[in-house]
Amino acid sequence: MAVIKMIWAQDKSGRLGTGAEMLWHVPADFKHFRESTLGYPVIMGRKSWEALGEYAPLKQRRNIVITRNKDFLAEGGEVAYSLDEAIALAETTSDLVWIAGGATIYQEALEVADELVVSYLDLDVETNASVVYAPKIDANDWVLVPEESDCQWREKSGDARWKVAVYRRRR
């Protein structure tokens, strides 16, 4: 069984995105995402895949896109029809698998993930668009790993200061 890690960035209210537009520009966090996931399979929902736009497929990673649409083609990526199927596909080539969103897939994968890598952004996005939110991290299920987490904000990058917290599932 592969280790399953989830990675996301959220604003102070837990917002993840709108699907249509990028809500922030924090290049250092993009770099953190890239460096964390490079070389490993990344699993994402169809809407997140589409939100990547010109950045899809994420380079040097197996991109596995989950959809219920049997006709869907993910150019440069692979398609799976359930989270379980996506994980099984990813496990054929890697003992570490990243779940890269969005809200629907994070919520579903919260049951099976071993670790959460969360970037907290020091900003509150103002938008009239409907947004999706990060899953709630229940302290009964997840424990912070202090040696892998920031206690201070990292230097501002683009729109915001940011810090990373790593949570491991309580066993």
- Residue 158 binding ligand NAP, by CB under 6 A: no
- Residue 171 binding ligand NAP, by CB under 6 A: no
Residue 31 token pair: 């770099």
Minimum CB separation of residue 161 from ligand NAP in Å reads 16
Residue 6 CB coordination number (10 Å): 24
> Tokens 């736009």 belong to which residue?
53
For residue 21, give Cα distances in angstroms to 17, 18, 44, 126.
7, 6, 17, 12
Query: Contacting ligand NAP (CB under 6 A), which of 30, 36, 67, 163?
Result: 67
Query: Contacting ligand NAP (CB under 6 A), which of 4, 103, 165, 166?
Result: 103
Cα separation, 67 vs 102, whole angstroms = 12
Residue 107 CB coordination number (10 Å): 14
List strand residue ranges (DSSP E) for 14-114, in order.
15-17, 42-45, 63-66, 78-80, 96-99
Considering only 13-21, 56-64, 109-117, 140-148, which stretch makes contact with ligand NAP by CB under 6 A? 13-21
Query: Contacting ligand NAP (CB under 6 A), which of 104, 143, 154, 157?
Result: 104
Cα separation, 171 vs 155, whole angstroms = 34
Minimum CB separation of residue 171 from ligand NAP in Å reads 26
Minimum CB separation of residue 10 from ligand NAP in Å reads 6
Minimum CB separation of residue 35 from ligand NAP in Å reads 15
For ligand NAP, the binding residues (CB under 6 A) are 8-9, 16-19, 44-48, 51, 66-69, 72, 81-83, 100-105, 108, 132
